[in-house]
Amino acid sequence: MPVLPGAEPYRHEGGEVGVLLCHGFTGSPQSMRPWAEFLAARGLTVSLPLLPGHGTRWQDMSLTTWHDWYAEVDRALHELTERCARVFVMGLSMGGALTLRLAARHGDAVSGIVLVNPGNKVHGLAAKALPVIRHLVPSVPGITKDIAKPDVDEVGYTRVPLHAAHSLRRFFQVVDTELPQVTSPVLLLHSREDHVVPPADSARVLGRISSTDVEEIVLEQSYHVATLDHDAERIFEESWAFVTRLAPDLVGEKGIASGG
């Protein structure tokens, strides 16, 4: 099945600092591509994989589970740790949950994480009924394109496959139990108005992780897909400042720290 235009994975070979970017549920690398290119332009090695079942058609996603999505980012992290001296992981929505699990399981191999509107729970009255409903109804209307900025589109599915949604719910439960194992430095940015993931999810993440180096930033002008919204540049700049603070010896050479 061909990949949707714009949903292709992205890779850039840069310096000794690597960044793994994780996109969200039913989304694609397109939602993270400007962020990836921003970091690549500053000399970082960047990996932005396409999660299995994503970026083609929603029926393909019905054949995958969270184990497949996590395995892909775990593989990408391994590649970066083999290539780079320091590695950071950054994620949007479900990509934030993937990021948290990587940090929980890989410890010091993850130098820091950046979370944008991280998901922690499948909300709504139908969530608990997913184990049954998924066998009766294959999909429901999609959750992409929650963007305040006009004329900006998101490449993702217009339908949510319920088998995958059920797996997502299970994944969030797994990650929630592992949050106390997260000790990496954390930068968490969340939108004040988000129609997909409520601020309560970010609050729970912050309340359960064991990290001591934590910064929280509220995004006032964006909805859920903040990486394509009014606050996108701020997210990019704050993540770059986060990396330069934690790895100054590696990004401060050859003029890279100035953004050249």
Single-letter amino acid code for the residue at 68: D
177, amino acid identity: T
Is residue 254 assigned to a domain?
no
- From the CA atom positions of the chain, what is the Rg in Å? 17
What are the structure tokens assigned to 109, written together?
């191999």
Q: Nearest-CA neighbor of 117 among 20, 30, 192?
A: 192
24 lies in some domain: yes
Q: pLDDT tens digit string along 84-118?
A: 999 999 999 999 999 999 999 999 999 999 999 99
The confidence score (pLDDT) of residue 136 equals: 83
> Binding site annotation covers 1?
no
Each of the 260 residues of the chain gets a pLDDT tens digit; together they read 899 999 999 999 999 999 999 999 999 999 999 999 999 999 999 999 999 999 999 999 999 999 999 999 999 999 999 999 999 999 999 999 999 999 999 999 999 999 999 999 998 756 778 888 888 888 988 876 899 999 999 999 999 999 999 999 999 999 999 999 999 999 999 999 999 999 999 999 999 999 999 999 999 999 999 999 999 999 999 999 999 999 999 886 443 443 33
Domain around 81:
10-245
Please identify every residue annotated as catalytic.
Answer: 93, 194, 224
Position 255 scores a pLDDT of 38
Burial 30-69 (b: 16+ CB within 10 A, else e): bbbbebbebbbbbbbbbbbbbbbbbbbebebbbebbbeeb
The CATH number of the domain where 36 resides is what? 3.40.50.1820
Contacts of 201 (CB under 8 A, 6+ apart): 117, 118, 119, 120, 121
- 248 and 258 Cβ atoms separated by less than 8 Å: no
Domain-located, residue 253: no
Assigned domain for 4 exists = no
Please check whether residue 202 lies inside any domain of the structure: yes
Tell me how crowded residue 87 is: count the other CB atoms within 10 A of its CB.
27
Q: Give one DSSP letter per residue of the chain, joined into a string.
A: -PPPTT---EEE--SSEEEEEE--TT--GGGTHHHHHHHHTTT-EEEEPPPTT-SS-HHHHTT--HHHHHHHHHHHHHHHHHH-SEEEEEEETHHHHHHHHHHHHHGGG--EEEEES------STTGGGHHHHTTT--EEE------SSTT----S-SEEEHHHHHHHHHHHHHHHHHGGG--S-EEEEEESS-SSS-HHHHHHHHHH---SSEEEEEESS--S-GGGSTTHHHHHHHHHHHHHHH-HHHHSSTTGGGT-
Q: Does residue 102 lie within any of the structural domains?
A: yes
Tokens 């010896």 belong to 249
Phi and psi torsions of 48, nearest 5°? -130, 85
- Tracing tokens 């090695």 back to the chain, one arrives at 45
Instruction: Tell me what pLDDT residue 104 has.
Output: 98
* Predicted pLDDT of residue 260: 36
25 labeled part of a ligand binding site = yes
**How many domains, the chain?**
1
Q: What is the pLDDT of residue 259?
A: 39
- The predicted model scores a pTM of 0.94
